[in-house]
Structure 1
Amino acid sequence: MADSTATMLEVEVAFALPERQRIMPLSVPAGTTARQAVAMARLEVAFPEYSPVIFREADLGIFGKRLRDPDAVRLRDGDRVEVYRPLQIDPKAARIERAADERR
């Protein structure tokens, strides 16, 4: 019987800016969490303009579905972990600002 801890999964970690994106293919051990995969992808090297803290604390999702607890979600073969950028402006505040501009 094969040791299940030696099983490797093929996953991707994705991060995008408006002008560029990076999708990092990774082979990770079975049992790797979404947060661990982001650390393994070393996105701070590809995006030095962002603090490594951004990647350690960012909201994460898998195929567009936000994860409630990325430190607990174990990846499956073929998953794409998405690292979400922090919002520049609160969406509610943006709507209020647009409405105020339209009234002027």
Structure 2
Amino acid sequence: MKVSVVYALPKEQVWLPVDVDDDATVLSAIHLSNILDVFPDINLQQQKVGVFGKVSSLDAALKEGDRVEIYRPLIWHPDEDDDDDDD
């Protein structure tokens, strides 16, 4: 069956179509996509994953046409110039 694996960075988005077995899981689709080779900084032990915008486990079963999403951490870092002092 056909699914896709997606990952988005601020300046780069990747959408990889993948053919998987009928008993495929989120994790197996991620491995078959080779996205971990393209983005070695992805840490599946820390980053959440989901299907069509809904967080799921790595062992969740997939259906035809599912979009597996790897979510990057959302961390705000203030700019050096971002200062609340109005001196």
Question: What TM-score comes out, normalization by structure 1 length?
Answer: 0.66
SS in 2 for 1:29: coil
Greater share of residues in helix: 1
Cα RMSD (Å): 2.3
- The structure that has the greater radius of gyration is 1
Matched residues in 2 for 1:28 and 1:14: separation? 15
Matched residues in 2 for 1:11 and 1:31: separation? 12
> 1:70 — aligned with what?
58
Question: What TM-score comes out, normalization by structure 2 length?
Answer: 0.77
> 1:25 — aligned with what?
17
4+ runs deviating over 4 angstroms: none
Q: How many residues align?
A: 81
Matched residues in 2 for 1:34 and 1:76: separation? 10
**CA deviation after TM superposition for structure 1 residue 17, in Å:** 0.1
The structure whose RCO (Cα within 8 Å, separation 6+) is larger is 2
Matched residues in 2 for 1:74 and 1:44: separation? 20
1:25-77 deviation line (CA, Å, top 9, x unaligned): 000001110111111111132224x15xx1x323111111111x221x11000
The correspondence for 1:36, drawn from 23, 28, 37, is 28
> 2:48 — aligned with what?
59
Same amino acid, percent of matched pairs: 35
